[in-house]
């Protein structure tokens, strides 16, 4: 996990740094989380928690084996026109819960530059309510892009309000690239 090394905060450092986007130039759908959780940060992989439903859902939608190695899963997702990233570049957060993100510490990713490099993106899908709220508050006001926005139920194991089948149905419709 990447953490700040500020000696003044030694022993009490909850600073986390997100990942680079995973996207081909021809991406048409962008899936945004808020910030990777502890398991993902430790493994340097998107959606690494073993109970996160993201990869099983993506596998069903795009017809690949969810047990494939990480690089192969990313390739299958990208072949389906989907890019992955997070709303936040950095923040302070103890643990993995979005509710624990310290609002005064967050830094949003540079979406204007990303969208300029990926002009085919037409739909942005939010993996959970917190990602959508962070984007609306910290990104959207400075962004001039005519995109479709879709808020989806979180694939996190902490979000148990919807069953896997319910999540799969909603995510299946959203992950299909816009025409």
Predicted confidence (pLDDT) per residue in 69-106, tens digit = 999 999 999 999 999 999 999 888 777 766 677 878 89
pLDDT above 70: residue 175: yes
* Alpha-carbon torsion angle 96, 97, 98, 102, nearest 10: -80
Asked whether residue 72 is domain-assigned, the answer is: yes
Asked whether residue 75 is domain-assigned, the answer is: yes
Count of structural domains, the chain: 1
Asked whether residue 2 is domain-assigned, the answer is: no
Asked whether residue 6 is domain-assigned, the answer is: no
Contacts 24+ apart (CB under 8 A), 99-107: 99/130, 101/34, 101/35, 101/130, 101/134, 102/14, 105/15, 106/134, 106/138
Q: Quick one: pLDDT at residue 11?
A: 41
Predicted confidence (pLDDT) per residue in 145-160, tens digit = 789 999 999 998 777 7
Q: Cβ-count burial of 56 within 10 angstroms (0-12 exposed, 13-18 middle, 19+ buried)? A: middle
Q: Quick one: pLDDT at residue 32?
A: 98
- Structural domain for 64, as ranges: 16-175
pLDDT above 70: residue 110: yes
Asked whether residue 5 is domain-assigned, the answer is: no
Asked whether residue 9 is domain-assigned, the answer is: no
Gap between the Cα atoms of 98 and 91, Å rounded:
11
The tokens for 139 are 């990104």
Q: Cβ contacts of residue 146 below 8 Å, gap of 6+?
A: none
Whether the Cβ atoms of residue 16 and residue 92 lie closer than 8 Å to each other: yes
CATH number reported for the structural domain that contains residue 142 in this entry: 3.40.470.10
């Amino acid at each position: 996990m990447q953490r700040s090394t500020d000696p003044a905060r030694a022993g009490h450092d909850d600073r986390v740094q997100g990942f680079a986007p995973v996207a081909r130039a021809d991406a048409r759908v962008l899936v945004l989380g808020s910030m990777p959780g502890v398991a993902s940060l430790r493994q340097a992989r998107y959606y690494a928690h073993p109970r996160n439903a993201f990869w099983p859902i993506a596998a069903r939608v795009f017809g690949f084996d969810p047990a494939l190695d990480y690089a192969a899963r990313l390739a299958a997702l990208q072949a389906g026109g989907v890019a992955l990233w997070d709303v936040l570049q950095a923040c302070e957060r103890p643990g993995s819960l979005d509710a624990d993100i310290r609002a005064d510490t967050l830094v949003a990713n540079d979406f204007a530059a990303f969208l300029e490099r990926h002009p085919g993106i037409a739909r942005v899908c939010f993996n959970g309510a917190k990602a959508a709220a962070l984007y609306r508050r910290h990104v959207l006001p400075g962004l001039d892009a005519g995109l479709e926005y879709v808020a989806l139920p979180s694939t996190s194991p902490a979000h148990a309000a919807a069953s896997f089948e319910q999540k799969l149905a909603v995510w299946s419709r959203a992950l299909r690239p816009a025409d």
